[in-house]
Structure 1
């Protein structure tokens, strides 16, 4: 059994073929899609966060709105770039969104990936400390975020406050119990997956990974997941770890499906460079008739290791079509793989 969610990058553009042509379109359609996904039995609604782009960027208003209009579906991110964040303010936003949703937030965070502008986090007022890289800064902020989510007081109260204070040091409010245990780390390397396990975060592994061995993407990703699980066990955490992998999977059911995705039935991994010295491997997409998809996906080692599969969706094609895409996986593919 696996949890199945969708992952939306939240694109929009004034393109005649797009149903999401404005930021308003994308935000409102994201809410509608999450509601519809819950109705068809999907387990999660997840959203990517990108700055300086015509994509979703500020997750907490969206997550709160979805939390208010749904009852059971997990709501999350994949991922928030911590280089851009104020960890304390984020604790307040995340706590509020989690309380609105009744404790359904599953927040994916990370050190971040290359963005639309050079050192975009500098425009947000942040810079690495002396001797730090921007990646170090992202991880440091993530650890501060985790620490403050514990709800332990750390701030000295004013002796003459506007309102009476409880005794002792003050914590950030609103505090949402349990949220600390629902934070995920988006890891692109084996080392950061191990680091996530040591710090008690669940693991998100996407369709991109630093190429560390030259092996096929799904094999490298499966090895990363196994290293993560070993590190989690060694750390002695008293709860079960969770692991998600992202995949682009399209069942060709209708002529419209074949028109959109029928040309990509022989998907292969791709090699590229995230930065000048970072060779990355990008996992293949899966498109085909349901029987062929079941055979292909059964050979994906990383999917076998994960408990959650996040289906990346073409959000610009609108809510109705994406409900069809997700429903097709649930109806025609998931049962044949034992996911349902």
Structure 2
């Protein structure tokens, strides 16, 4: 590494795919992956969120299970789309899982209307669809409730029952571990102004440039400029990274084909939102480290949650995670908090 910041925290992100006919096996595979991540020394494991698809629809429930099968690794969501959620109920669930995990939960959220809103509105908000706030106000409500601001004017005893005016349980440290997943300058600034942490991924909006790394760099700098903690404000980067050090020839060919098929979408802004996608990084750990060392945004982060490809097999994920922890992480200056334990 040259003058990049040494990597302090190494994490990974999975979508948790499952077969419709055997959902238990897919969910168990995700939990086993998180357990493997802890044994390998990863600092964090993150799960994606999918509604009406064959991926994790309830990440908070999955992470509650993971909290009872691990003891050290941090557990995150990247991200929960708040358009599907009631902030008060979500605040209760997040606080409960944070208590169960011993303060390891890192909830990431985003805003905007639910995907395919016109198709799901009747099922989701049959009576209030036109009145729902899908903007930053929904995050603000969640922040206030998680951080212990009153949810009601009433507290005290009524008959035999005792009531609190704030969300219970209250987990004091959770308010400082809330992340906003943003792809625009506006989101980056808002997250900073509201004291959140910032998740930036392999997708950004081409607002002032069509250079992915420069766009991402402008976002993290805007976030830190707006954040009370300035340069100490937490940013995590989530590129798709596939090291091949211990991969078989068949796996290497499979990974190369995967990246090749997705490469055309990275060459210009996509769709009305002008989304820019980062190329997938596939190769030896030394090759990936060299490419990251020249990535303008990576050079200014100390935390990553490398995204795993959606459609790989369990043995592929085991190989990729093992290479990340034993070869790529050290090449980026990372040291695990505990030595890896590869046996069960």
TM-score by length of 2: 0.85
Structure 1 unaligned segments of length 5 or more: list them: 15-20
How far is 1:156 from its partner? 3.6
Q: Aligned to 2:152, what secondary structure does the other structure show?
A: coil
Structure 2 unaligned segments of length 5 or more: list them: 1-6, 336-344
CA-to-aligned-CA distance 1:200-221 (integer Å, 9 cap, x gap): 1100011111111233211110
Question: Is the 1:207–1:247 Cα contact (8 Å) retained in structure 2?
Answer: yes
How well do the aligned residues superpose, as a CA RMSD in angstroms? 2.5
- Runs of 4+ with >6 A deviation: none
Residue 250 of structure 2: aligned partner? 256
Residue 137 of structure 1: aligned partner? 134
CA-to-aligned-CA distance 1:99-151 (integer Å, 9 cap, x gap): 0000001110001477255363553225353xxxx7x5242111001011122
Closer, same or farther in 2 for the Cα pair 1:201/1:156, shift >3 Å?
Answer: same
Matches of 1:88 and 1:81 in 2, distance apart? 15
Residue 18 of structure 1: aligned partner? none
Higher RCO (C-alpha under 8 Å, 6+ residues apart): 2
Matches of 1:7 and 1:72 in 2, distance apart? 17
Q: Aligned to 1:278, what secondary structure does the other structure show?
A: coil
Aligned residues: 322
How far is 1:289 from its partner? 2.5
Closer, same or farther in 2 for the Cα pair 1:73/1:205, shift >3 Å?
Answer: same
Deviates more, 1:309-318 or 1:82-91: 309-318
Question: Equivalent of 2:316, from 300, 321, 336?
Answer: 321
Closer, same or farther in 2 for the Cα pair 1:99/1:238, shift >3 Å?
Answer: farther
Describe how 1:194-213 pairs up with structure 2 within 5 A. Answer: 194-213=189-208
Residue 129 of structure 2: aligned partner? 127
TM-score by length of 1: 0.86
Question: Equivalent of 2:268, from 271, 275, 278?
Answer: 271
Residue 246 of structure 1: aligned partner? 238
Closer, same or farther in 2 for the Cα pair 1:239/1:280, shift >3 Å?
Answer: closer
Matches of 2:99 and 2:259 in 1, distance apart? 43
Describe how 1:1-340 pairs up with structure 2 within 5 A. Answer: 1-13=7-19, 22-112=22-112, 115-116=115-116, 118=118, 120=120, 123-125=123-125, 127-129=129-131, 137-157=134-154, 161-165=158-162, 170-232=165-227, 236-237=228-229, 240-253=232-245, 254=247, 255-263=249-257, 269-274=266-271, 277-314=272-309, 316-340=311-335
How far is 1:49 from its partner? 0.9
